[in-house]
Structure 1
Amino acid sequence: MIEIGQLPNARAAQAFVDYLTGLGIESYIESLPQGVAIMLVGPQHEDTARSEFAQFVLHPHDEKYLQASWDNGNTQTKFDYGSGTLGLVQQFITGAGPLTLITFFICVLVYALMNLGMGNTLFSALSFAGAVPDSDVAEIWRVFTPSLMHFSAMHIIFNLLWWWYLGGKIETRLGSRPLLFLLLMAGTLPNILQFFITGPNFGGLSGVVYAVVGYTWLMGVRNPNCGIGLPPSYMGFMMVWLVLGFTDLLGMPIANGAHVGGLLVGLAQALFDSRKPSQV
């Protein structure tokens, strides 16, 4: 038996198995501690199956997979979705890797503490050099830690949803290395750029979010079989949001330098990683 990939959702996996059945490729689902694996019965069609799996990961809602379930699905197949809350928690955990989740919860913790009377203390400790008295560039962590601070519910929800969705895709399909690079580079260089544009009073994971947006989109364009990608409509929305940040229409201060800098970091890393698929 040959494993060609893993998915967090058993029903989605069954749709893909039904699709392979329609292609004359015999496969089945094997349960894992987190999610399921797609297993081939024999090696005869391995290359085709792997190529089709990569396309399924990019476009799981394509009508052809739904049609395959109608045409080839087994009505006796049963799925264990777990209890409602437990199922959502499981999907949240299996949809991301450890780096994605750790960063997610650190940001949530910092935001919670800042709203529980520790705002000034945390801002003094995490803000960019020069934002508070007696802080300077010798405290090297300050080029990164502003990325962990958020100043409104909308701010943190927007950033963390994108971080979990795209960071989770990158980490579960390409590994932690490219995501760690994006987090460190897009969590520091855009902050430095933002400092020179507006000064030291800023924060948020937006630069990193735009880095994973740019990385995911360009990797999907240049290397469609890598297992990640971003639909043009999603990329278009983020570009519209980026442009709106340079206007007064959003009614809030926007770290435009961090957004642009993060996007450039993500695109540059995607250009490097997509030179040869094997190098990712």
Structure 2
Amino acid sequence: MIEIGQLPHARAAQAFIDYLKGLDIECVPVVTANGVSLVVYDETKAEQAKHEFELFRQNPYQKKYLEASWDNGSTQTKLDYGSSSLGLVQQFITGAGPLTLITFFICMVVFAAMNLGFANHVFSALSFFGAVPGSDFSQVWRAFTPSLMHFSAMHLIFNLLWWWYLGGKIETKLGTRPLLILLVVAGTLPSLVQYMMTGPNFGGLSGVVYAVVGYTWIMGQRKPDAGIGLPNSYMTFMLIWLVLGFTDLLGMPIANGAHIGGLLVGLAQGFFDSQRQSNTRVDQ
């Protein structure tokens, strides 16, 4: 019995198992605390299976894997994750990396504190320069920390769902570094844009969300083999939402400057990273 790799989701694991079945390689899924472990019993085919696993991990959305599920898949196959609640928690954790999850929970803690009687204290500590007396440019954290504050449940949920979904994709596929750059840069520069447009009273992760949207979309367009991407329909929705922010139709104040600034940061970094990866492969 040889483990050839692990995948975070049962659906992805089953797609790969179906593909190996077409190559006459029997692979068995084993549920672990970190996802699904893929095990091959025939040692003579282990190396081939490992090679195919690496190809699948780099681009799991290739047409051949989808076709394999149709040709070789079984409707009787089930993976037991225990209780449904445990399965959801496991998928939530394995679908993102440490930076994604830490940022997610910090935003939740900050929001909880603001709604448990500490709103003034939190705002005084985290708001942008000039929002409260005594907040000057020597307090450098204020360039970023407004991104951690949310002023309504809908605002928080909207931002954190996108952050977990796209930030998790970036971190699990490309590593923590590109996501950290996006978080820091898009959490600061767009805040400066927003400050110049409306003043210091703003907050939310929206600028960073638009950065990961732009980054994921352009990487999918320019470097699809990186394994991340965003459907054009999703990108269109986010652009429509951005435009609506300049009207009164949403019935709430929108940080349009942060949205635009974040989107430009994400597009620029995505263009740079996709170009850098292409040059690296050519050099090799």
Fold conserved (TM > 0.5)?
Answer: yes
CA distance in 1, matches of 2:115, 2:65: 48
Aligned counterpart, 1:240: 240
Deviations 1:211-235 (A, max 9, x none): 0011111111111111111111111
Q: CA deviation at 1:9?
A: 1.7
Map 1:1-280 onto structure 2 (within 5 A): 3=4, 6-22=6-22, 24=23, 26=25, 28-29=27-28, 31=30, 32-38=32-38, 41-44=45-48, 50-57=54-61, 65=66, 68-74=68-74, 77-277=77-277
CA distance in 2, matches of 1:113, 1:84: 30
Change (3 A) 1:20 1:277: farther
- Is the contact between residue 7 and residue 35 of structure 2 (CA under 8 Å) also seen in structure 1? yes
Q: CA deviation at 1:15?
A: 2.1
Q: CA deviation at 1:20?
A: 4.0
- Code of the residue aligned with 2:135 in structure 1: it is S
Aligned-CA RMSD value: 2.6
Q: CA deviation at 1:80?
A: 1.6
CA distance in 2, matches of 1:14, 1:258: 40
- Is the contact between residue 149 and residue 204 of structure 2 (CA under 8 Å) also seen in structure 1? yes
How many residue pairs are counted as aligned between the two chains? 274
Q: CA deviation at 1:48?
A: 6.3
SS state at 1:163 partner: helix
CA distance in 1, matches of 2:219, 2:102: 24
- Is the contact between residue 54 and residue 224 of structure 1 (CA under 8 Å) also seen in structure 2? no
CA distance in 2, matches of 1:223, 1:36: 27
* Identity among equivalent pairs (%): 67
CA distance in 2, matches of 1:27, 1:48: 13
- Is the contact between residue 186 and residue 265 of structure 1 (CA under 8 Å) also seen in structure 2? yes
CA distance in 2, matches of 1:244, 1:179: 27
CA distance in 2, matches of 1:30, 1:126: 46
SS state at 1:36 partner: strand
Deviations 1:33-58 (A, max 9, x none): 3112456834458766644544425x
Structure 2: which 5+ runs fail to align? none
Q: CA deviation at 1:179?
A: 0.6
CA distance in 2, matches of 1:130, 1:75: 61
- Is the contact between residue 190 and residue 260 of structure 1 (CA under 8 Å) also seen in structure 2? yes
Larger mean Cα displacement after TM superposition, 226-235 or 27-36: 27-36
- Code of the residue aligned with 1:265 in structure 2: it is V
CA distance in 1, matches of 2:98, 2:219: 22
CA distance in 2, matches of 1:29, 1:217: 34
TM-score normalised to structure 2 length: 0.87
CA distance in 2, matches of 1:38, 1:130: 55
- Code of the residue aligned with 2:27 in structure 1: it is Y
- Code of the residue aligned with 1:187 in structure 2: it is G
- Code of the residue aligned with 2:9 in structure 1: it is N
SS state at 2:27 partner: strand
Q: CA deviation at 1:86?
A: 1.1
- Code of the residue aligned with 2:60 in structure 1: it is F
- Code of the residue aligned with 1:158 in structure 2: it is F
